[in-house]
Amino acid sequence: MVAGAADAQDRNSELPFVAVLITSNNAETQAIVDGMRDQLAARGRWPGETVRIEVVETGANARRAEDLARAFARENAAALVAIGEPSISAAVNTSIRTPLVVADISLEAAEGYKRERRRRNVTGIVSGATHGDQFALIRQLMPDVETVAVPIDPVDGNIQKRLETVRLAARQSDMSIMALPVSVVQNAVNNRIAELEPATSAILLDRALLPDAPVEALAAAAAQRELPLFADDEDSVIRGALAAMIVEPFGIGEQLGDLVARIFDEPAATRAPFERARASHLVLNRDARARFDARALENEIASARRSVVDWADIAGPRPRIKPSVPEPPPPLGVTRGVTVPTPLPRPSPPPG
């Protein structure tokens, strides 16, 4: 090795060190890592200049992940970032003192690891409900909204208990919730939809409450009543909902970068509570573009590091991982007098 290369390697080894264990080097994981790198740079921690970042893929080999975690601890890593299983469980299981930061895991699972292993120096970005983000969007687009109807499956015997989280988030935004029964089997929307006043009401499709929702039927019924239909996922926007706030891998990485930077500056941050992944991207379909002032939305949302993406199919200013546009399903027929259309075709990219 030439002297210059050796000196550069020595300088690199002396930099503060962030070790990253990833289970799989797929596009989603890479977007998380890219977001973390970018945010660390924004916080003055430049990869290769003022901080060293090493990313290692573990695959499904838990023993290899544990060995790597111990090796990074021996190298005095300032933080060990574990993304996805089984990398997270392997890192938690090792008896190392290195601060552990996790991502791509649910809050319940992360809290379970922390409790069972009595690991106090574990924090991270976890998945969870985004109701607060959705209601904030509805309030921003519809300042006079009072009631939000949430589609439910009427045969779900546990639905009222599951709705409590939604009701709590709605109350914090000064809104009330109305359960709107929807028949998944019959593609039918209950007549309670007629109780909603268009000027002060909206519909929010929560796919966790109604995974197999007939989105096209909902969109058609809502349009007939001139009610705006929102969702919490991109696929529903593609299929007819006006808009949704969604969690993006790159945004998760930005939150990771902020957290790791805090750990560098404040060692006590290793014991910070788990932070929920923010819904950081707004996706709109073309009907929403016509109905709302998208340019004003872009200006307002940009200040919160969010981006507006037309139709959920055109790249925004950040690297994004998007679901592919689904194949149009067969026509759904007529639902309570509402003709249900098939999804609109994928639009052509804008010129230039």
What letter does residue 342 receive in the DSSP assignment?
P
Bridge-based pairing state of the strands 338-339 and 188-189:
unpaired
Residue 314 pLDDT greater than 50, yes or no: no
- Smallest Cα–Cα separation from 217: which of 336, 340, 330? 340
What letter does residue 84 receive in the DSSP assignment?
S
What was the pLDDT predicted at 306? Answer: 59
At CA 315, angle to CA 310 and CA 317, rounded to 5? Answer: 100
What was the pLDDT predicted at 293? Answer: 78
Superfamily grouping for domain 131-246+280-339: Response regulator (3.40.50.2300)
- Smallest Cα–Cα separation from 261: which of 104, 87, 81? 81
Give the number of residues written for the chain.
352
Q: Is the peptide bond before 351 cis (omega within 30 degrees of 0)?
A: no
Please compute the mean of the pLDDT values over residues 2-21 and round it to a whole number. Answer: 66
Residue 271 pLDDT greater than 60, yes or no: yes
Where does the pLDDT of residue 284 fall: very low under 50, low under 70, confident under 90, or very high at 90 and above?
A: confident
Q: How crowded is the C-beta side of 295, counted as CA atoms within 13 Å?
A: 0
What was the pLDDT predicted at 322? Answer: 46
Mean of all residue pLDDT scores within the chain? 82
| Tens digit of each residue's pLDDT (9 = 90 or more) over 203-260 | 999 999 999 888 989 999 999 999 999 999 988 888 889 999 988 888 899 999 999 9
Q: Which residue is listed with tokens 């050796």?
A: 6
Where does the pLDDT of residue 147 fall: very low under 50, low under 70, confident under 90, or very high at 90 and above?
A: very high
Q: How many CB atoms lie within 10 A of CB 159?
A: 16
| Tens digit of each residue's pLDDT (9 = 90 or more) over 77-99 | 999 999 998 899 888 888 888 99
Burial class from Cβ neighbours inside 10 Å (0-12, 13-18, 19+) for residue 212 reads: exposed
What letter does residue 47 receive in the DSSP assignment?
B
Count, in order, helices (H) and strands (E) of the chain: 12, 16
What was the pLDDT predicted at 70? Answer: 93
- Smallest Cα–Cα separation from 178: which of 205, 201, 149? 149
Burial class from Cβ neighbours inside 10 Å (0-12, 13-18, 19+) for residue 327 reads: exposed
- Smallest Cα–Cα separation from 240: which of 341, 134, 322, 135? 341
| The CATH fold of domain 3-128+250-276 | Rossmann fold (3.40.50)
Q: How many CB atoms lie within 10 A of CB 312?
A: 26
CB 43, CB 261: distance < 8 Å? yes
Alpha helices in 84-233 (DSSP H): 87-93, 107-116, 131-141, 159-172, 215-224
What was the pLDDT predicted at 274? Answer: 94
State how far the Cα of 175 lies from the Cα of 182, in Å rounded to an integer: 21
CB 29, CB 256: distance < 8 Å? no
Strand partners, 333: none
How close are the terminal C-alpha atoms of the chain, in Å? 47
- Smallest Cα–Cα separation from 178: which of 188, 187, 189? 189
CB 50, CB 16: distance < 8 Å? yes
Question: Which residues of the chain form CATH 3.40.50.2300?
Answer: 3-128+250-276, 131-246+280-339
How large a percentage of the chain has pLDDT more than 70?
80
- Helices 159-172 + 131-141 axis angle, to 10: 50
Concatenated DSSP letters of 264-329: HH-GGGGGPPPEEPP--EEEE-HHHHHHS-HHHHHHHHHTTT-EEEETTTS--SS----PPPPPPP
